[in-house]
Structure 1
């Protein structure tokens, strides 16, 4: 068990190489983004595999049975037990779907349903770590800019720990369900004219002045917590990885964490191979894909991103350098898909019995496109990370399925004949 006596970590700048030991900050003096670096050389990968298996079955009811703190040695060994925050995040399902595999055109596809997290998205894995670190610093006012999932997760953990949450949310192109969820958990929500990126810029400028602990993906602890997603995936697969992992990209914290987690597992000899990452963006909000596609060295922001997949509606993703490192490590690729392709893929995932919000469905749409252009072979295997629950975007459900609801003509009462007609229509779809 961890007790807070873990190894020291270093904050390293991805731009100038500057290092900070024992000093918490979000950005480097040069303005570069920071990441946490730890020396893993003293760790035994095989011993860790046994420890993680043991915790899964013997630590039930404790923080160490969860899908984040089960892997504390690789996430935040320095944090004391009394600040570790959990709502039972992680421990999400991994489902083989023949329908989704056939749609993508590959031999086997499994869906990692981070939508089963307590707030309904993958953000919980990272937020558990960020809020725990904030509490260790004595913080009690947690803040973020969000297109929805981050704010709901932050508000949930703040409420759970008796803290206060402040959320900045764009006034448009965001799911009302996510904002309502954040408000229900007690967040003070501030809607503003502008984009997600404008909210992040405000927090970077004024966060410290206002006494806020900022929980956006710039926060290195968010990335550390989100690494647990791939640790758990590897454990569920008995440490034998697929050829591909597909993941949607908005702020790019998810792919950054995926790459960093895979690097940990590979360096420690805990997995049989490094899977390739397929990062999928929406065509209307794909600045990172365009950068990679055109072999640019820096990202050109999209000032007015627009996509039906609101969770990916981000034009200036702050974690693009970390995402690029993840692609380089895994020989990964990027792909952009249309909103129409996303919604078609969503229908397939929904009808598979798992379901997801539109941004998650981009993974299946991306795999299909990569198979069609020959990047992925039909005999290869993949895992698609589903990042958000289908009820995160109720409007998308109405858009796709409202016409499939049978209404009795003229408000008539139920009758066997009417039901037979409805069944015949259903069977013909």
Structure 2
């Protein structure tokens, strides 16, 4: 394993760990997979599906050879994350207009979001370096995941949270896991800048997406999809984008699978952002080569409320390598799609539903053909933002297309029969 700068391509040993290169670029972790045999890996990964109470029962550490092969097992902090469901949904495919849509429910992770796939690796790496104090800045899911894994590892977590446009459910979950939560006046990007400057002197190990080990864990999501589908991926993978770590990890995982011969072709990637926080989509649609940050982003899908995504250069690489596309959707489109994902029996938080809303828009514009297959990544649990549920279904001013209000009635046969 070695560190490779995304900007200047300078290489360093993984043991000389840093979050950023001297030139300011982010690091990737590069593996040498030349000694690995694809068919043998398939057998190993299959056999580990029966593991219980070992690190390999995890849907992340099952793929340890592709993620962090040299980490001693005693440093692994795991809650058997991953192993999340992949569901075909006729309701959703009817809504988007596709022949087949599958939903990858990362919402079923232990802390309720996809962040667990990356956080188990980041905290385990920090632990191996001797850290006991872990930090992140977060709009919600990263903070609760970090707090959970830091506690499992016997460490402490310090979380910086903007004081507006976030979900209180996620903050309460973070507090419950024992984190020290620091609420500040500013944006996600302000929090990132603060600890980039001061984490070293405070003795804090950073667990945001600037940490390349977190990306290594998150790429296991696409490994799992591939294994569940007998190593044959769909035509499209659709993913929401905030900090853009998820699409970065997706692209890295896809390249791993292809280079190893575990899959024979790359699916195309569709990255979906909310209209109120879509600096990457705007860069792509305007044909620019540099991202212009949005100083005051806002979307009701709070997990996407990021105006200066730190991983945009890595995300651009994924879009280019997979002949991918980007798209933005309105908050109303997100909330309507969420209502149907919830109704399908799977459920998700608003940011997750951007994938379904974006897929529907891309099919309607004939960017994605109705006969093509797709997997939508659902990143967070529906109970991560109960205010969104209440506002959509119970608020009289809701414009929800699929609003499902509570019906009051006296318990008489005629009244109840009239409601059935």
Tell me, yes or no, if the aligned pair for 2:302 and 2:351 is still in contact at 8 Å.
Answer: yes
Q: Does residue 38 of structure 1 match 2:31? A: yes
Deviation at 1:294, TM superposition (A): 1.4
Single out whichever of 320-329 and 166-175 deviates more from structure 2.
Answer: 320-329
Q: What is the aligned partner in structure 1 of residue 161 from structure 2? A: 169
Tell me which residue corresponds to 1:4. Answer: none
> Secondary structure at 1:207's aligned position in 2?
helix
2:418 maps to 1:421: yes
TM-score w.r.t. length of structure 1: 0.94
The answer for unaligned runs of 5 or more in structure 1 is 1-8, 424-429
> In structure 1, what is the equivalent of residue 193 of structure 2?
201
Secondary structure in structure 1 of the residue aligned to 2:221 = helix
Q: Deviations over 1:64-119 (max 9, x none)?
A: 02100000000001110101111111000000001101111110000000000000
**258, 265, 286: which one pairs with 2:278?**
286
Structure 2, unmatched stretches of 5+, are: 396-403
Is contact 2:394–2:406 with CA below 8 Å preserved after alignment?
Answer: no
Per-residue CA deviations over 1:254-284 (Å, capped at 9, x if unaligned) read 0000000000000011013210000000011
For the residues of structure 1 that align with 2:307 and 2:167, how far apart are their CA atoms? 17
CA distance in 1, matches of 2:336, 2:407: 25
Question: Take 1:278 and 1:315, find their aligned partners in 2: how far apart are those partners?
Answer: 19
CA distance in 1, matches of 2:26, 2:371: 39
Which residue number corresponds to residue 339 of structure 1?
Answer: 331
Query: How far apart are residue 406 of structure 1 and its match?
Result: 3.3
Question: Contact conserved, 1:408 with 1:418, CA < 8 A, in 2?
Answer: no
Provide the secondary structure at the position in 1 that maps to 2:336: helix
Picking from 26, 46, 51, the partner of 1:53 is 46
Q: Given that residues 288 and 320 in structure 1 are in contact (C-alpha distance below 8 angstroms), is that contact kept between their aligned partners in structure 2?
A: yes
3-state SS in 2 of match to 1:393:
helix
Q: 1:241·1:272 contact (CA, 8 Å) conserved in 2?
A: no
Residue 420 (structure 1) shift? 2.4
In structure 2, the residue matched to 1:234 is: 226
TM-score by length of 2: 0.96
1:300 aligns with 2:292: yes
2:277–2:299 CA contact under 8 A, matched in 1: yes
2:8 aligned to 13, 16, 39, which one? 16
RMSD: 1.1
**CA–CA separation in structure 2 for the residues paired with 1:222 and 1:394:** 27
Q: 1:274 maps to what in 2?
A: 266
Q: Aligned partners of 1:337 and 1:406: how far apart in 2?
A: 28
- Say whether residues 1:358 and 2:347 are aligned partners: no
Aligned to 1:320: 312
Distance 1:121 1:387 in 2: 5
Give the conservation status (yes or no) of the 8 Å contact 2:283–2:292. yes
Give me the whole-angstrom Cα distance separating, in 2, the residues matched to 1:355 and 1:107. 21
Distance 2:406 2:145 in 1: 36
In the TM superposition, residue 347 of structure 1 has moved relative to its aligned partner by 1.1
Residue aligned with 1:217, SS: coil
- Paired residues of 1:243 and 1:380 also in contact (CA < 8 A): yes
1:258 aligns with 2:255: no
Task: Give the match's secondary structure for 2:21.
Answer: coil
Greater mean deviation of Cα atoms: 215-224 or 322-331: 322-331
Q: How many pairs are equivalent?
A: 411
Report the Cα distance in structure 2 between the residues aligned to 1:401 and 1:95, rounded to whole angstroms: 25
3-state SS of 2:202 partner: coil
Structure 1 position 407, deviation (Å): 5.0
How do 1:176-215 residues align onto structure 2 when only pairs under 5 Å count?
Answer: 176-215=168-207
**CA shift at 1:324, angstroms?**
0.7
User: Residue 16 of structure 1 contacts residue 30 of structure 1 at CA under 8 Å; is this kept in 2?
Assistant: yes
Find 1:28's aligned residue among 21, 28, 31: 21
After TM superposition, give the deviation of residue 43 of structure 1 in Å: 1.2
Aligned-pair CA distance for 1:292 = 1.1
